[in-house]
Structure 1
Amino acid sequence: MLTACGGGKAPAEGQAATGDSKKPFAGVTLRIVGANHPWTEGIKTKIPEFEKETGIKVNLEQYFEDQLTQKITVEFTSGSSSIDAFMIRPLQEAKMFVQNGWISELTKTNDTNWDYNDFTKASTSSLIQNNKLYGIPTVTEREILYYRKDILEKNNISVPKTLDELKQAAEKLNNPKNDFYGFVSRGQRSPAVTQFSSFLYGMGGDFMADGKATIDTPEAIKAFKYYGDMLKNYGPQGVLNMSWPQASGIFSQGKVAFYSDADSIYPNLIDPKKSTVADKVGFALFPSGDKGQSPYNVTSWGLAINAKSKQQEAAWEFIKWATNKQNVTALQATGIPGPRQSVWNTEEGKKNFPAELVDVISKSNEIGKGYDRPLLINVGPARDIIGDVIVTAISGGDVDKAAKEANRAFQELINKEKK
């Protein structure tokens, strides 16, 4: 199994020992801090089962995302041990939390019943630093291509498999005079970075390599220009103000042929109460670029253990239970995309997802890259810097100049974190 380093003796300080080998932590009370999220709501309904099975009492607290980050940061900074386990956004917070010593390292051993190897590689990658595991994924998402099945069929256009084909199809279908557009994605400065990442990878680029900023390479500049041109030439008005709610909204109104974004958004697009094209939405693997096909495949939420917790073994029991195959299957059956590939292969795990989408997700799990933004502590400022180049590209500005200026600023940010 995985055991928290620093919590290797059972029971740890502050834990109750009952002498019952089946319930070694009976009498322990865990404080679990989580986000207001469908995953949390789902697991909350099952906690009584865990309490009955283990004798562990669980006090679950829920907060909005930013409130959650602020709360655990304040408590961890003060050295508090009262939080035992918590939900974490790996790509936003893991690097800082690990550097500050706030998370317990988890060491993988052979627990075949729980089966760590069943988690997709991409889902665990953002929770691994310096070859050490610091959390377990719970919720995943990938970038895919949404498209209008009826529009493509009417115009005898095949589903694009490459970015060149996507551009050709978007150009052919773009008809702004009739308020219909070829393509939409996020255009807001910071939110656009995550969706841009798959285009960047497909062109052979990346945000950084070996501690060096790489957003001014020929590959990166080509990706910026492609993404900017697609939204400038074939996108709707006001795209610079669009994050996912606005972009998905205009697609749902039947005004766009292609939409690139996270697969987790799909319920909004196929809900007749929210979408005028609910029965006309298709799902496709993110198209390949010049250098291959690498859509992001990320963990949006995971579970970790407070390094100061006095009940780390019991906290691990909770995490192991919450992420076992049975619970991942049950939550995925409600529409929450999980990190276990075996669950995607079951009828129960598939039943609330369109069949075409399941196929896309399974293939993305095999080829996806485990991050959709720079892996830095100061990820917010980094996204702003990169987002400036995207905005320049969409606005028709000098992308080469903007990329070089942004690369210098990005490198300065990287250097600060090395000190």
Structure 2
Amino acid sequence: MNLRTLLLGVSSAALLAGFANAETLTIATVNNGDMIRMQGLTEDFTAKNPDIQLEWVTLEENVLRERVTTDIATKGGQYDIVTIGNYEVPIWAKQGWLVSLDGLGADYDVDDLLPAIRGGLSVDGKLYAAPFYGESAMIMYRKDLFEKAGLTMPDSPTWEFIGEAARKITDRNADINGICLRGKAGWGENMAFLTALNNSFGGRWFDEKWQPQFDQPEWKASLQFYVDMMKDAGPQGASSNGFNENLTLFQQGKCGMWIDATVAASFVSNPKDSTVADKVGYAIFPDTGNGNHGHWLWSWNLAVPASSTKAEAAQKFIAWATSKGYTELVASKEGWANVPPGTRTSLYKNAEYQKAAPFAAPTLAAMDAADITKPSVKPVPYTGGQFVAIPEFQGLGTTVGQLFSAVLAGQSSVDDALAQAQTTAVREMTRAGYIK
């Protein structure tokens, strides 16, 4: 055997041994565009960490929440990294279900995280999840359709204007819906939007004594407005549409307006995916003249369940995926306009990003304006913009979401759905001990 053959044999054996000894991280994530893009770039991570392999479980948003919640609550240990929202992080951290992220590395620069985002992911000064992207909500609209209809988007649009504009730019013959809004049932799907909508109408989920408010005029006004507008100007089958479905409709030129997460802006303005990329304008979330623009604050984050036995390796991956270096990697492959937004202060000071992303300034303005301690013009005993930050909200929000989605589908009336929501909420809040 010559030296070259011997060396090749040794190196091959070492390589096989390396794979045999490699840790495999199982990562549960949502099927949003930014997360799909991340999976396509992970060779950069595995090349730098050959002792770590990755296994992906990519799920639709509602399914992800259900499976991850079940696994983490039962300490199942199925996942080493989970993708969760800023709703779950503080609740789960206080229950001891998450590992504090102390191993992100000296060069991670945790102080660069936007203060509002970092604060929502910390408990007692410790970070329990790292943000992959952050968002608020805003209007994305077709400037060409507005111009054709003789409309100008106001600096501070009201819902009355939005309703009129949606009906005016609807063109069923051309398959253009005046507006696309979430209708798919789920506490983080239709109820994220409808809670923000109700906040902007001056409503709230609970009063100061935790009494549900579905029997109050604000909920009747906001839900009726939504259902009527969607009937007149929304797409068919809207009760099945969530974030991803509406994104596709907008990219295909079938929506005149879409009011949803600011993170969508990079996808609707990307000419590779969007047929209307050069026609999109952005505006603040509407109000009813009361100054509450329904701003929400959300982040998709990577966290390590306490049941994982691979916390050290998991934190290495999280540090890579949420770092400044990852942002630069995406920029080099996809362009600055497509980097994950809403997590780091440095991004919004980056001249290249500002130049490439016309939505950067309105996104940051919306996130800065979000105040989760005061989601409504009326006093509330909870925090949260498009959700209520209590453990019971996950189940209750989904139940109410199903009731409201049925109204949009024509299977129930606004009055019946609100009555059922009130009865259900009173029962659940009493059972949980909030109502004495």
TM-score (norm 2): 0.71
Call closer, same or farther: CA 1:313–1:162 in 2, change over 3 Å.
same
Call closer, same or farther: CA 1:206–1:67 in 2, change over 3 Å.
closer
Question: Pick from 44, 47, 56: which aligns with 2:45?
Answer: 47
Structure 1 counterpart SS, 2:184: coil
Call closer, same or farther: CA 1:404–1:125 in 2, change over 3 Å.
farther
> More displaced, 210-219 or 184-193?
210-219
Cα distance in 1 for partners of 2:385, 2:65 equals 22
Question: Pick from 199, 204, 207: which aligns with 2:205?
Answer: 207
> More displaced, 221-230 or 209-218?
209-218
Cα distance in 2 for partners of 1:73, 1:374 equals 20
Cα distance in 2 for partners of 1:212, 1:332 equals 48
State the partner residue of 1:254: 253
Question: Pick from 340, 345, 349: which aligns with 2:344?
Answer: 340
Q: How does 1:3-402 map to 2 (within 5 A)?
A: 31=25, 33-35=27-29, 37-38=35-36, 40-41=38-39, 44-48=42-46, 51=49, 57-65=51-59, 66=63, 70=67, 73-74=70-71, 77=74, 80=77, 85-90=80-85, 94=89, 97-98=92-93, 101-105=96-100, 114-124=108-118, 126-128=120-122, 133-160=127-154, 161-163=156-158, 164-176=160-172, 179-190=175-186, 191-208=189-206, 211-266=210-265, 269-270=268-269, 275-289=274-288, 290-299=290-299, 301-308=300-307, 312=311, 315-316=314-315, 319-331=318-330, 334=334, 335-338=338-341, 339-350=343-354, 354-355=357-358, 357-368=359-370, 369=372, 371-375=385-389, 376=391, 379-380=394-395, 382-389=397-404, 391-392=406-407, 395=410, 398-402=413-417
Q: Structure 2: which 5+ residue stretches go unaligned?
A: 1-20, 373-383
In the alignment of these two chains, the number of paired residues is 383
Amino acid of the structure 2 residue aligned with 1:295: H
Q: Are positions 1:404 and 2:419 aligned together?
A: yes
Cα distance in 2 for partners of 1:350, 1:193 equals 32
Deviation at 1:39, TM superposition (A): 5.5
Amino acid of the structure 2 residue aligned with 1:193: M
Cα distance in 2 for partners of 1:326, 1:274 equals 25
TM-score (norm 1): 0.73
Structure 1 counterpart SS, 2:347: helix
Q: Structure 1: which 5+ residue stretches go unaligned?
A: 1-26
Cα distance in 2 for partners of 1:107, 1:242 equals 39
Tell whether the 8 Å contact from 2:142 to 2:279 is kept in structure 1 after alignment: yes
Call closer, same or farther: CA 1:141–1:28 in 2, change over 3 Å.
same
Call closer, same or farther: CA 1:189–1:48 in 2, change over 3 Å.
closer
Cα distance in 2 for partners of 1:40, 1:217 equals 44
Deviation at 1:135, TM superposition (A): 1.5
Q: What RMSD in Å do the two structures reach over aligned CA positions? A: 4.1
Deviation at 1:179, TM superposition (A): 4.9
> More displaced, 328-337 or 64-73?
64-73
Amino acid of the structure 2 residue aligned with 1:58: I
Q: What is the aligned-residue identity percentage?
A: 24
Structure 2 counterpart SS, 1:64: strand
Structure 2 counterpart SS, 1:197: helix
Tell whether the 8 Å contact from 2:239 to 2:405 is kept in structure 1 after alignment: no
